[in-house]
Copies of this chain bind each other. A is one copy, B any other.
Amino acid sequence: MVAIRLQDIRKSYGPVEVIKGVSFEAEQGEFVVFVGPSGCGKSTILRMIAGLEKPDSGEIYFGDDRYTDVPPGKREIGMVFQSYALYPHMSVADNMTVSLRLAGVPKTDRRKRAVEVARMLKLDELLDRKPAELSGGQRQRVAIGRAIVRDPKAFLFDEPLSNLDAALRVETRLEISRLHQQINTTMIYVTHDQTEAMTMADRIVLLDAGQVVQQGTPLELYRNPANLFVATFLGSPKMNVLDVAAVSRDGTTAQLTMAGASHVSVTLPSPETADPKSIGVRPEDTRIVPEGEGVLSGTIISAEHLGSEVLVHTETAAGQIIAKMPPDFSAHAGDTVWVGFNVARAHLFDADGLTINNHARQ
């Protein structure tokens, strides 16, 4: 069942069109994550779903009903704002239970519910503080609590975890995931965080400049990006992309070459396919290998030790390449090394940046 459906939504601020015809559906109980560069219109779409902003054109459906003109309060939606939007004059407990108060729930019940939710968010000791007396992260959690409290039909989250520390972020993330499994409510979630997007989403909607670029399950997007933009946007550190030229082409098999490198052989979907113009390899499919074994030679610029792995940045004739290596890999800036690719996992792109299926894959 479709829970929320947007149909060719457009929105301008003054002369600038920030949403340029967005259509999408969220199934009942689905967890949809919006990602996209800063300023691409994620918050704006969320606000239109909540009813806080009117689309200039297009329609919004909840289930089968046209909701385009339904006022926000009637939409039964819980939203966590990017700016928190806590009521500064109310205690944490009151902040969280405003919707219950408006619905006429008696005080003691409200308090009980507040305590329940606060425990979940580790806010139990702060229930009687005012927002001004909280740290940034604490405020963010209160805002999440406020949305959770009212058991809404759908949740909208606008980067709800952006101010939490890593540990709490993982925890709250799992908490939200668990919440989602428990109550099976449709959730629409905006985030910048790759991990959040990849782990929480049933479906990711990738936006750029007010348009949907690609949508699908996280792994679909990660493994089969529709174009260069998606390929480089998802994944951190981002995919290494190198310009290539086809030196020979034999039906579906092409020999590619790049600056300062030996040939790479790839299989194209059909003989008609245009020659690939660039190849993309994710850092985890890139390796620093013993001399002569790799495709390219390069110089190490820096090695970032993340503890669980080492990111090796190398400068090659074809451009900068990042390789993800195990934590005990030792690298020194200035060393000359060889870079090897797992070609079976490489992505091919044509002159317009559109993906060409690499049939060597799978």
How far is B137's CA from A43's CA once the two chains are assembled, in angstroms? 12
How far is B165's CA from A17's CA once the two chains are assembled, in angstroms? 21
A285, chain B: closest CB distance, angstroms: 9
How far is B38's CA from A242's CA once the two chains are assembled, in angstroms? 41
User: Per a CB cutoff under 8 Å, which of B159, B233, B235 touches A308?
Assistant: B235
How far is B168's CA from A232's CA once the two chains are assembled, in angstroms? 11
A38-B235 contact, Cβ under 8 Å, with A284-B309, A284-B327, A308-B284 = no
Q: Does A164 lie within 8 Å of B38, measured CB to CB?
A: yes
Please report the total number of A residues contacting B with Cβ < 8 Å.
51
How far is B6's CA from A245's CA once the two chains are assembled, in angstroms? 57
Chain B residues with CB below 8 A from A159, complex form: 136, 163
Q: Does A218 lie within 8 Å of B39, measured CB to CB?
A: no
Q: Does A308 lie within 8 Å of B283, measured CB to CB?
A: yes
Q: Does A169 lie within 8 Å of B198, measured CB to CB?
A: no
Chain B residues with CB below 8 A from A169, complex form: 192
- Name the CB-closest residue of B to A309: B284
A305-B194 contact, Cβ under 8 Å, with A38-B164, A159-B163, A164-B38 = no
How far is B219's CA from A327's CA once the two chains are assembled, in angstroms? 10
Q: Does A167 lie within 8 Å of B238, measured CB to CB?
A: yes
Chain B residues with CB below 8 A from A237, complex form: 170
Chain B residues with CB below 8 A from A138, complex form: 38-39
Tell me the A296-331 residues at the B interface (CB within 8 Å).
Answer: 304-309, 311, 324, 327
How far is B218's CA from A236's CA once the two chains are assembled, in angstroms? 19
Binary per-residue interface labels of chain A (25-55) against chain B in the complex, 1 for a CB within 8 Å, 0 otherwise: 0000000000111110001000000000000
Chain B residues with CB below 8 A from A304, complex form: 198-199
- Name the CB-closest residue of B to A219: B305
A222 interface contact, C-beta 8 A: yes
Chain B residues with CB below 8 A from A199, complex form: 304-306, 311
Chain B residues with CB below 8 A from A234, complex form: 307
Q: Does A233 lie within 8 Å of B167, measured CB to CB?
A: yes
How far is B186's CA from A85's CA once the two chains are assembled, in angstroms? 35
Tell me the A275-293 residues at the B interface (CB within 8 Å).
Answer: 282-284
A336 interface contact, C-beta 8 A: no
User: Per a CB cutoff under 8 Å, which of B82, B167, B324 touches A37?
Assistant: B167
A351 interface contact, C-beta 8 A: no
Binary per-residue interface labels of chain A (131-142) against chain B in the complex, 1 for a CB within 8 Å, 0 otherwise: 000111110000
How far is B144's CA from A38's CA once the two chains are assembled, in angstroms? 15
Binary per-residue interface labels of chain A (201-233) against chain B in the complex, 1 for a CB within 8 Å, 0 otherwise: 000000000000000001100110000000011
A162 interface contact, C-beta 8 A: yes
A342, chain B: closest CB distance, angstroms: 11
A193 interface contact, C-beta 8 A: yes
